């Protein structure tokens, strides 16, 4: 068993975040339904560790992030913060938080594709976390609440970087400045989610998409994500050169040969990530 699996197993024994790997798909579940999965310091650390574990595990080809209960994540744990113990609680704890090793930055650096299965409300930190995933599927009962300015803060976990790129400046401004709540269908119309599915079918749909991704050549999928991420901050000329350099090792991979042979032989390829 890999070190990543060992770490995941230890974390799954605790109840803030759950972890499961089945058929190449890792499912990470925020598991504090009694408080609508608000982010505590413990949950933050466990989520970070499990995202890293999934990204380092060669057996994991796609990650699904979801929540237990009726909410995906209702933001930061304000009760913990008010007691001075949690994120945003002030004092030494907030001054020493290492933002280089938190879910938003870890997710942005991950090469493994991520799907957010939004089972309920995603507000504040929860909305930013959902936006940090590559693809979002939303239950028809779910919503996104950009309530940051209504709480006297900014989208602190990636929203101010992600939203202008996803929506354009004007629509991002409208959403952030008003602190508006969007229904699942509105999220699709705005371009914040791929599609809305019946709540009862959410995980079935998410797993089907994850399996579709996992069936493809993992090195090529990961390289494609890496190139897309680099392309956000590159000129076109620089980018096409970087893509060519990324293509060279893929052309020598066993998976490329398998993909070509499977196409010629009219069969499903069996990719090994080699």
What are the DSSP calls for 83-118, one per residue? TTSSTT--HHHHHT--GGGSHHHHHHH--S-EEEEE
Report d(CA 261, CA 263) in Å as an integer.
5
For residues 114 and 131, is the Cβ–Cβ distance under 8 A?
no
Domain segments of the chain as ranges: 3-214, 218-264
Report d(CA 266, CA 4) in Å as an integer.
35
Give me 185's structure tokens. 């269908």
Which comes out higher in pLDDT, residue 97 or 265?
A: 265
Exposed/middle/buried for residue 229 (C-beta within 10 Å: 0-12, 13-18, 19+): middle
**Per-residue pLDDT, 267:** 94
Report d(CA 272, CA 25) in Å as an integer.
15
Kindly report, residue by residue over 214-246, the tens digit of the pLDDT.
999 999 999 999 999 999 999 999 999 999 999
Mean pLDDT of 8-34: 83
Closest CA to 46 of 101, 2, 119: 101
Pick the CATH number of 3-214 from 1.25.40.10, 3.40.50.1220, 3.90.226.10, 3.90.180.10: 3.90.226.10
Q: Which residue has the tokens 């997710």?
A: 107
**Per-residue pLDDT, 93:** 46
CA angle 118, 124, 128 (to 5 degrees): 60
**Per-residue pLDDT, 193:** 97
Q: How many CA atoms lie within 13 A of 233 on its CB side?
A: 5
Region of 179 please: left (phi>0), alpha (psi -120 to 50) or beta. left
Terminal C-alpha separation, the chain: 19
Going through 152-266 in order, the beta strands assigned E by DSSP cover: 181-183, 195-197
For residues 273 and 219, is the Cβ–Cβ distance under 8 A?
yes
Kindly report, residue by residue over 98-113, the tens digit of the pLDDT.
667 788 899 999 999 9
Does residue 44 carry a pLDDT above 80? yes
Kindly report, residue by residue over 65-91, the tens digit of the pLDDT.
999 999 999 988 766 555 555 555 444
Domain 218-264 fold? Lyase 2-enoyl-coa Hydratase; Chain  A, domain 2 (1.10.12)
Mean pLDDT of 125-144: 96
């Amino acid at each position: 068993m890999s070190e990543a699996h060992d770490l995941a197993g230890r974390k799954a024994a605790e109840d803030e975040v759950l972890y499961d790997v089945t058929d190449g798909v890792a499912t990470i579940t925020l598991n504090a339904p009694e408080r609508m999965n608000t982010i505590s310091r413990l949950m933050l650390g466990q989520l970070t560790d499990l995202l890293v574990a999934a990204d380092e595990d060669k057996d994991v080809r796609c990650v699904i992030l979801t929540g237990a209960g009726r909410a995906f994540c209702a933001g930061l744990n304000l009760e913990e913060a008010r007691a001075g113990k949690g994120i945003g609680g002030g004092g030494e704890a907030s001054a020493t938080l290492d933002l280089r090793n938190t879910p938003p930055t870890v997710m942005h650096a991950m090469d493994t594709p991520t799907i957010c299965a939004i089972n309920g409300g995603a507000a504040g930190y929860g909305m930013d976390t959902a936006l940090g995933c590559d693809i979002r599927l939303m239950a028809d009962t779910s919503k996104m609440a950009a309530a940051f300015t209504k709480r006297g803060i900014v989208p602190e976990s990636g929203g101010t970087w992600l939203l202008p790129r996803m929506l354009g400046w004007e629509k991002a401004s409208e959403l952030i400045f008003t602190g508006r709540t969007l229904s699942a269908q509105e999220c699709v119309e705005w371009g914040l989610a791929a599609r809305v599915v019946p709540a009862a079918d959410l995980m079935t749909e998410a797993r089907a998409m994850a399996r579709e991704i996992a069936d493809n050549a993992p090195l090529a999928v990961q390289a494609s994500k890496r190139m897309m991420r680099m392309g956000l901050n590159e000129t076109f000329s620089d980018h096409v050169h970087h893509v060519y350099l990324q293509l060279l090792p893929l052309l020598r991979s066993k998976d490329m040969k398998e993909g070509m042979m499977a196409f010629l032989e009219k069969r499903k390829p069996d990719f090994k990530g080699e």
